[in-house]
Amino acid sequence: MQPQRIEKRLAPTFLWLLALLLSAGVGPSWALQPHEVLVIANEDVKESVTLSKHYMGGRGIPADHLLTLSVPVQETISGGDYEEYVAGPVREYLREEGRVTFIRCLVLMYGMPLRITRPDTPDKEAEIQRHKTRKKELTERIRHVKKEEEQEALEEELIRIRNAILKLEKTDQSASLDSEIALVLEENYAFLGWIPNPFYFGYGGKAIQKLNRDPLMVSRLDGPSEPIVRRIIDDTLAAEEKGLEGIAYFDARWSNLSEKKTSGYDFYDQSIHEAAELVKKKEIMPVVVNAGNALFQPGDCPDAAMYCGWYSLKRYVDAFEWRPGAVGYHIASLECRTLQRPQSQVWCKRMIEDGVAATLGPVGEPYVEAFPPPALFFRFLIDGRFSLVKCFAMSNPFLSWKMVLIGDPLYRPFKKFRAAEKKATSDLPENLPR
């Protein structure tokens, strides 16, 4: 996990967004509805279908919103298999009978692949050089163009060229299936690496690569075994009905400093502190912050309802007694590389085994700026109006990349808390996922 110019690129807009969000509200229509969800199961895994029906029954998702596919029973598949066995059939289903107009979210069930491998582009070095030559030409032309419309067109092309170079220069061209399938209805995008997520609040109106249509939101109900996934479903429903209770734990590495930070690591550590402050201000549960060099240790975190921390690469620290419905987020590379390998200690798998109902993480090296900033993700989560998948969609910087959200997309752990508050009028930006 490597810092990448994140302070300069995100921090100014991020502070503005927090100020906006603290004073803004949205109506209940922003909560995802069951009829907007499509559940995707692997028909070659019996438990995948039975879990789908169990989940759909609990959430009131229409029975015809279950799509069963015959997919290789393995965690990693090739890009070709992804297109043949997953993307093609999903695209066809969505385009039939006008479903594309009302399906907003896909749920990938236990038994579906987790990761896609993508081969390098032939003659990659020559292609990189062609892009760099074009980038230089565009940069020079923009300096001399006076018409605003022409300048905007050139700047949009320059953005595409820069993104293409970044993608081609990445050595790891793999992606999570979840992040790729979000773009299943997008026409002719480069299947090479990250694409800016138009729902991400951190861009704050900054020009990014344009998509032809809004992406789909994606979550998965998955884990090491069928009983664990069933427990996630049942815990989520029970916690939402009662309201999530317990203690919020935030594990930073350094003190909460107000001065300007200089690296991506600084930014994310500060964001953990900001998330803790937001939960404190909301007064929904006690908050414990650890800002020392050592992580929380076994026995340190009883009644854990929420957690965010870092950095212990592929080495879960069993410090928690998780409450039903708990949400845990550990910022480190590869923490969702597998959900099945029995001996693996990656955080997503182990947190799910130990009791969380929702988590997120990358299937490969994402680079530090690809992680959802904790202060954004938890700000949306504790608001109570946004379902889990929307909290993720609005805080996840990139698509066609590494991140995975595990949990019921409709989950609103603080729904009851929100219902007790006075309703507010929305002045949030228009790019909220519908």
Residue 398, C-beta contacts closer than 8 angstroms, at least 6 positions apart: 179, 194, 195, 196, 197, 200, 366, 370
Distance CA 393, CA 432 (A): 9
pLDDT above 80: residue 433: no
Distance CA 68, CA 53 (A): 11
- Residue range 59-70, pLDDT digits in tens: 999 999 999 999
Match 């939402």 to its residue by tokens. 240
Residue pair 219/393 in contact (Cβ under 8 Å)? The answer is: no
- Residue range 186-202, pLDDT digits in tens: 987 776 678 999 999 98
Higher per-residue confidence, 160 vs 361 = 361
Please, which pLDDT band fits residue 257 given cuts at 50, 70 and 90?
A: low
pLDDT above 70: residue 309: yes
CA distances from 392 to 26, 407, 428 (A): 17, 11, 16
Higher per-residue confidence, 90 vs 427 = 90
Q: H or E segment at 144?
A: helix 124-144
Q: H or E segment at 40?
A: strand 37-42
CA distances from 229 to 224, 247, 306, 354 (A): 8, 23, 19, 12
Higher per-residue confidence, 346 vs 156 = 346
DSSP state of 250: E
Record the tokens describing residue 372, joined without a space. Answer: 């959802």
Round the average pLDDT of the chain to a whole number and report it.
86
pLDDT of residue 104: 96
Higher per-residue confidence, 330 vs 152 = 330
pLDDT of residue 135: 85
pLDDT of residue 186: 92
Distance CA 78, CA 119 (A): 9
Higher per-residue confidence, 223 vs 10 = 223
Phi and psi at 286, nearest 5°, equal: -60, 150
The amino acid occupying position 185 is L
Gyration radius of the chain's alpha carbons: 21
Residue pair 105/32 in contact (Cβ under 8 Å)? The answer is: yes
pLDDT above 90: residue 71: yes
Please, which pLDDT band fits residue 121 given cuts at 50, 70 and 90?
A: low
Q: How many residues does the chain have?
A: 434
* Rounded mean pLDDT, 102-116: 97
Omega before 311 cis (within 30°)? yes
Question: What angle do the packed helices 226-242 and 347-354 form, to 10 degrees?
Answer: 70
Record the tokens describing residue 255, joined without a space. Answer: 């003190």
